[in-house]
Amino acid sequence: MQSIRRRTRSSLSAAAYVATIAAATLFLPVALGTNTAFAKGKFLYIQSGNVAEGQNSIVAYERASGCELVPLAGSPFLTGGTGIDNKTNGKLGPNDNDTPIIRSADGRHLFAVNGHSNTIAVFDIAPGGTLCHVKGSPFPSMGIGPVSLAISNDVLLVANRNEDPFQREELRGAALANYASFKIQTDGRLVFASKVELADGQKPTQIFVSSRNSRLVFGNEFQVDVDFDGEGNVSQLFGTEPLVRGRLRTMLLNAAGVLTSCDTVALKETARPAPEVPSIPLGLWDHPSKNLLYVGFVTRNELGVYSYDDHGKLTFVSAVPSSGQDICWLRVNRDGTRLYAVNNLPRGDAQDMASTITVFDISNSSAEKPVEISRVQLPMPLGTFVNNRNMPQPNSAAFQLDIDPSGQFLCVLSQRIDQTDGNRSDQGNILHVLKIGASGTLTVVMSRHLGPDGVHSTARPQGIVTLDT
């Protein structure tokens, strides 16, 4: 096992930041530079999430014919930071996020979070798909534990979750979770613009820009501070009292890149009588041609639908059941006819053995009340273990997903969840590729173990970006 050195990082002084960047250049595998040409080809990028000091990285592939993946020369590319170590035997929270890596619309730059280092790496994407840090990368995220990124024109948006078990002082009140904005310079450098702080302890998991209004930004907030198993040294009760809660937030972004919070809403309670655990959100995406926001109602196994106006007001429309367990991350196809949802856990009453992907019809009138049309189980759960909620859980469970630009393939990333010393297997971090059929249904065509590609078994890879040029 790789040795792990931990340091608490809050806001860096200018001198400390310069020193950090200077030190980072000692282990970056590529020189700093500015990309002057577009990448040529088809590529796929994932973040390793490596928890060894300074070893977080981007694993890069060329997507050859069909779904064949060929590692790029020089991969993995170090991000200049460290991933979050959620060594808590299944603790909910720190790894529950989406879009921790993202690319610019023109395909010139790739952005990635360093969750434990509190920084954002910015890469030029070279013509062959390889990555080269822009000058000054990585940049301070202006918060603790960055987990999610979004882009609106020339503005990068960051959700700083502040739920790193190894930054406990900040987590328990020394710092606040926030959403931050940065102006992206022409060479990719980031210049801080603003932040919206969450003073009540809520934890953002995702930041998302409306595909129909680039000035409208959504946030997904999800906090689970519950000692499920009665052993605080295992599940790590991060707050000072048990809390399970969540909400949605809308923010407006002005031309200067300044974020302003305009509305928050609790999820509609769809269960009667309401159980002890409230309805909370995990996973956001919107419809490309209608003012509709889709939300994973994770504790209800339902897909929620909200309408929104140009002032950021959200109105609940409907919630429909998912046949999977723990619906989380969502993607909508380019035509706005199908929605794909990751169900993180197997559903016992359906005799599932692994995570599943649900397909919903959202075409025409079904946009406001989606209809489930199929569900597929991912292969290779690699056995089970008992997590800190005293529940059996697959060692490999699905997290983020992405639809490739052609709309023909869905890529799903699974993490090695059991990080206890008793797990002797080094497998569990897996990239699955599924073929999207003419009706939108899915067929698994490839599953690739990520260890040989540079993803260490103690890491939890997060985020997928595909690029066609």
CA 387 from centre of chain: 21
**Residue pLDDT, tens place only, 210-235:** 999 999 999 999 888 876 655 555 55
CA distance 146 to 112: 9
- Residue 21: the pLDDT is 33
CA distance 293 to 285: 6
- Residue 73: the pLDDT is 96
The candidate with the shortest Cα–Cα distance to 251, out of 278, 221, 287, 281, is 221
Which tokens in the block code for residue 37?
């040409």
SS3 content of the chain, % helix, strand, coil (to 5): 5, 45, 50
**Residue pLDDT, tens place only, 52-85:** 999 999 999 999 876 799 999 999 999 999 999 8
CB 394 within 8 A of CB 401: no
Q: Which residues of the chain carry a pLDDT beneath 50? A: 1-36, 89
- Residue 230: the pLDDT is 59
CA distance 355 to 346: 5
End-to-end alpha carbon distance in the chain: 39
Instruction: Give burial (CB, 10 Å; 0-12/13-18/19+) of 320.
Output: middle
The candidate with the shortest Cα–Cα distance to 412, out of 343, 363, 347, 352, is 343
The candidate with the shortest Cα–Cα distance to 305, out of 250, 357, 367, is 367
The candidate with the shortest Cα–Cα distance to 207, out of 314, 97, 326, 287, is 97
- Residue 150: the pLDDT is 98
**Residue pLDDT, tens place only, 282-303:** 999 999 999 999 999 999 999 9
The candidate with the shortest Cα–Cα distance to 136, out of 20, 264, 284, 260, is 20
Beta bridge pairs of residue 326: none
CB 383 within 8 A of CB 365: no
pTM for this predicted structure: 0.90
Secondary structure (DSSP) of 6-31: -----SPPHHHHHHHHHHHTTT-SS-
CA distance 35 to 72: 17
Q: How far is CA 311 from CA 291, 307, 407, in A?
A: 12, 12, 31
Number of residues that make up the chain: 469
Domain 39-334+450-468 in this protein, CATH class: mainly beta
